[in-house]
Chain A
Amino acid sequence: MPRSVIVIGSGVAGTAAAWGARGRGSKVVLVSAGAGASAFAGGAVDDVPWEQRTRAAHALGLEAHATAAKLPGALLEFVGALGVWDVPAARGCYLATMAGRVRPARGRDRALLDLEALGRGGRVLLPRVSRPGWDADALARALGDDPFAKALKLQFEAVDAPVLRFDEERRVTDADLAARHDDPARLAWLGESLRSAVAEGTGVAAVLLGPWLGLGLGRADKLAALVGLPVGEALIGAGSPAGLRFEVARDALFKAGGIEVISRRVRAVGVAGGDASGGTARFAVSLEEKDASLRADAVVLATGGVSGGGVIYTPAEHGAGADLPSGGRVPFALSLTAPVRLGDGRGALEATSSLFGPALDTVAWPTGSRQSLLEAVGVQCTGIRAAHGLFAAGDAIAARPRTVLEAAATGWHAGVEAASTG
């Protein structure tokens, strides 16, 4: 009989876990409460935080990409199946950010412009668009001033080319504007507009736009074909349509893979008592607003960290009302109850000896290579194992790098293990 696996969380880690377990022939049910970090992130695909990589490369006197680790085949296979990212097997890419930096990354959402792929030299055009957060002239100046841009010998230039069609588009959200480019006619119009801008100059290598190129997949490639040059988005740290594109790709993957998805919050994961039906299921997963619980041989917690809503900050003082808090307690909690312990990389979290909560004065923002406490908190694991038959993946694991590839790799691994371990 195939083993049954329940994956909790539908971020990158949960998706990879479901895909991995399904690939090993398990019956997979995925339960998710909604959007997590994967849906907010900007589309850069890293294995370790990029500034860490840059620092390491510099210390070794190497180019940033020279330290890019070769990725395991299974991981690349998952990335390929999902189809939303481009992660080159052995090198990295360079992305332009909305804050005006050129930064290395291990991979990218396909709609983001890869500056590495442009070769060396050339002009990148930025259309002037009257929207908050997009000042083509200032952005071009900032990007051109970046040392990576200088190393790539790229020039950035603002140009006049209509991108907005209606006045109200000056104010709609990035995602709204992006959605409009899912319409082929609108995309064709934009292609035409950019093509004439490009035609006016010489040595143009690419066109850089804000995060506006569709919620569906492949819009940027289509646009590039229309313009005859690479066209892509700049990276925005949070609230990019890249998160929505991930969700579109993920849902397609679930559908194709026959993975059942339940949209509900999980209340608790418990060890199942005697099973009336005589099954061997080890775990009972209870959902909110539902009496009957789900059963499975193994469970993967891919519930994310503080940013994804999987870990909640709960100092004792919160909700204490007019009086003193009722007592010291562990100031973080999982968003569901499960037989696991939370840690921060330095050991298990314990109740603080303060009636109120921890002194966050120095630990809640990262310093140097030390993670912030808010990033580090997660399930204590050995590798991906939290308890017998219970696995964790992605941001849910304590003190691992908070990156997309880390989530994908641990997710896939947890899914495979959940499918095979007795």
Chain B
Amino acid sequence: MQASPVRLRRDDTDVDVVVIGGGVNGVGVARDASQRGLRVALFERNDLAFGASGNSSGMIHGGPRYLTNDPHVTETSCRDSGHIQAIAPHLLFRIPFLAPVERSARSRVMFTLMDAFFEAYDRYQPFKRGKRHARLSADELRQLEPGLAGDLMGGFSMDEWGIDGARLCVANAVDAMERGAKVYVGHTVERVERREDTGAVVAVRYRDRHTGAGGRLRTSVVINATGAWSSITAALGGLPPTASRVRPGKGIHIVYDRRLTSYAIMGQTIDGRQIFMCPWENVTVIGTTDDDFYGDLDGVRANSEEVRYLVQGIARVFPAIRNARAIGTYAGVRPTLHAYGPSEDELSRDHQIIDHAVHGAPGLFSMIGGKLASYRLFSEEMADVLAKHFGIGLRCATHVTSLPGGDATVDPFALAERAGIDAVAARRLVYRHGSRALHVEERMKARPREAVAVCPCEPVTEAEVRYTVRHELARTVDDVSRRTRLGLGACGGMRCAARCGQIVASERGLPPREGMRQAINFLERQALTRVVALGPEQARQEALAIASVRSELGLMGDDDLATAPAWRQIAQSEPGEQSAHSRAQGEVVCPDP
């Protein structure tokens, strides 16, 4: 284990490795590299899990789609799914799937093929504590899910695991920080500096997007883990964008106000794509689409067409979806490997490390592609490359070291009693934080006032909001929401955004008006993600929310709201750019510190 750290701790560098991107792959490799003793700095342009990682279907699956071509990949995927479960047991929840088969000319053949397929998958299920599949008759299917429609010949049950992608990212980032990594959220890398003669990486230049302050950090290795932003990031290092090319595949999800079914249900769209409807935490989610996306990656939103395409598909198996109450949508862009093709060889992997030495840029690496489910393995492969590069012999240990909160189980009922909060709130708290829920509990015990719920839909206490600001790098109402699901319930944050803004402002020592501004931004952004999925019931709620926000907070007067991308927040803090309210008072809402 004791290898000579030849190239480690060079005097001419501030850190050994700079990771760009706070998605699951970025934080994953930051964790692994810090665990192996490297000095790591990570820069995230927006927030942890802002990209694909926080907007995925949230499934830790075992890679069944590789079964036919390369069962070995399925095996590794299932093993890795098991590892993730072992290091973060609190974050995973079982999602039993039903796959109904419609009666048709080919349905008998179809049924047999699918049965064989699931049979093969069953071989690997034990690695991830998955249950074997079951053949079900049409009657049995309807007994399990009475809402199923269509002329069914039968179907199957199949077992997968769900996860909260944002929590997974936060847990990895916190672990990396506890091992000495520096994580900068809201900081964008603007340039990767390289030597003119050798092309080797020497430093990154970054900028704090809120204050506008820039900086430079010396390093000899840079990892581009920016997912769909990957080609843009490569260009920052002076490489052609094609050096790190991904196919940007936009995917959306629609969120419903409650768990509509007990099982996830597979369905098909009009063009034959597989989609699903899935009970997920407190809500139901349907997804997902896959369309090439060449727009602004910082402002990805679902539109009405995508919503209808999905609902139409799900309605074929579950017609009641049309009358269910949609309370929001979310969208992300997949970094799909660009070089994939019909050949089996290429289909057998979905991630790749590019060593840009081949492009004349030694020290620059890109991690492209990947899945939430394989992030740990991908990070391990990347960290192995680093270990070799730096000549350290330490092996990966991320699969045997618990993530923060994953080391012990906490009984939510006992916690509820001790902290004086209700059992549902405690259960949700323990889900999100595992054993670290005890830290939040300490806050509540020390200051009973903080046990009061801020958000009534998703029970989030003041103590938890403060905890996410203090220990999980949350800086805004949006960030708190990403970490706790605050404000994502049926009332759309109408009840809690302003309060959350006050807490964030007080915790960060900002003027209260800054908290208010964050709240309004959050409400507007959430409203724009909801309206595209509006149904009759939610329409009235939406009208009430508009009236209520108008009455209590006042609406911003910006005319560009309709197209408001996330960068508005930045634009507003720039000198000269002022919001309607600040204009009214002739002063800037959020002065640069």
Contacts and interface: CB of A to CB of B under 8 A. Distances in A.
A305 B150 CA distance: 38
Interface in B560-585: 560-563, 580-581, 583-585
B539 interface: yes
A259 interface: no
Contact of A322 (B308, B319, B515, B554): B319
A99 B531 contact: no
Interface stretch (B59-67, B130-138, B545-553): B545-553
A101 B149 CA distance: 51
Nearest to A368: B559
B583 A58 contact: yes
Interface stretch (B29-37, B159-167, B211-219, B505-513): B505-513
Contacts of A41: 547, 551
A54 to B, nearest CB: 5
Contacts of B499: 99, 133, 135, 138
A321 B304 contact: no
B311 A50 contact: no
A42 B551 contact: yes
Contacts of A255: none
Interface string A33-58: 00001001110100001110011001
A133 B513 CA distance: 17
Interface stretch (B68-76, B372-380, B449-457): B449-457
A307 B557 contact: no
A138 to B, nearest CB: 4
A55 B551 contact: no
A238 B311 contact: no
Contacts of B288: none
Interface stretch (A70-78, A80-88, A140-148): A140-148
A133 B457 CA distance: 13
B103 interface: no
A66 interface: no
A298 interface: no
Given A321-B319, A375-B546, A235 B532 contact: no
A133 B532 contact: no
Contacts of A366: 546, 550, 555, 561
Contacts of B515: 100, 142
A291 interface: no
A58 B512 contact: no
Chain A: interface residue count, which band? Answer: 35 or more
Interface in A100-130: 100-101, 103, 128, 130
Contacts of B4: none
A135 B584 contact: no
A362 B543 contact: no
B544 A238 contact: yes
Contacts of A54: 554, 584
A162 to B, nearest CB: 15
B534 A360 contact: yes
Interface stretch (A223-231, A310-318, A338-346): A310-318
A87 to B, nearest CB: 16
Given A130-B448, A359-B304, A367 B559 contact: yes
Interface residues of B, number: 72
A44 B548 CA distance: 11
B536 interface: yes
Contacts of A389: none
Contact of B516 (A99, A313, A363): A99
A122 B297 CA distance: 50
Nearest to B532: A361
Contact of A374 (B305, B543, B552): B543
A98 interface: yes
Nearest to A52: B557
B478 to A, nearest CB: 17
B453 A132 contact: yes
B534 A364 contact: yes
Interface in A368-422: 368-369, 372, 374-375, 402
B393 to A, nearest CB: 52
A99 B498 contact: yes
A237 B323 contact: no
Contacts of A361: 303-304, 528, 531-532
B502 A58 contact: no
A288 B265 CA distance: 39
A144 B495 CA distance: 21
Nearest to B498: A99
A390 B323 CA distance: 34
> Which of the listed residues B462, B536, B552 has the most CB atoms from chain A within 10 Å of its own CB?
B552
Contacts of A170: 452
A356 interface: yes
Interface string B188-199: 000000000000
A97 interface: yes
A16 interface: no
B149 A322 contact: yes
Given A130-B452, A147-B585, A367-B562, A237 B303 contact: no
A131 B462 CA distance: 12
Contacts of B554: 50-51, 54, 101, 103
B546 A367 contact: no
B498 A55 contact: no
Interface in B384-426: none
A97 B316 CA distance: 47
A142 B543 contact: no
A181 B563 CA distance: 47
A229 B298 CA distance: 52
B542 A309 contact: no
A41 B453 CA distance: 23
Contacts of B581: 51
A347 interface: no
A236 B499 CA distance: 12
Contacts of A322: 149-150, 315-317, 319
A29 interface: no
A111 to B, nearest CB: 16
A32 B102 CA distance: 48
Interface string A260-278: 0000000000000000000
Contacts of A132: 452-454, 456
A314 B535 CA distance: 8
B200 to A, nearest CB: 47
A344 to B, nearest CB: 13
B562 A362 contact: yes
Contacts of A141: 502, 506, 512
A162 B528 CA distance: 42
B303 A359 contact: yes
Given A40-B544, A235-B552, A374-B543, A101 B516 contact: yes
Contacts of B317: 322
Contacts of A369: 557
Contacts of A236: 552
Nearest to A313: B539
B530 to A, nearest CB: 8
B84 interface: no
Contact of B534 (A40, A133, A313, A319): A313
Given A44-B551, A238-B548, A402-B547, A362 B563 contact: yes
15 contacts: A42-B548, A51-B557, A100-B498, A135-B452, A141-B502, A147-B587, A170-B452, A237-B549, A238-B544, A306-B543, A319-B323, A361-B304, A363-B562, A365-B531, A366-B561
Given A100-B516, A366-B546, A366-B550, 15 more contacts: A37-B544, A37-B547, A55-B584, A58-B585, A101-B552, A132-B452, A135-B462, A138-B499, A138-B512, A307-B544, A309-B540, A315-B535, A317-B322, A319-B323, A359-B304
Interchain residue pairs A-B with the least CB separation, the first 10: A237-B548, A237-B552, A99-B498, A313-B539, A364-B531, A307-B543, A142-B512, A238-B548, A306-B543, A147-B585
Interface of B: 149-150, 303-305, 308, 311-312, 315-317, 319, 322-323, 448-449, 452-454, 456, 462, 494-495, 498-499, 502-503, 506, 511-513, 515-516, 519, 524, 527-528, 531-532, 534-536, 539-540, 542-555, 557-563, 580-581, 583-587
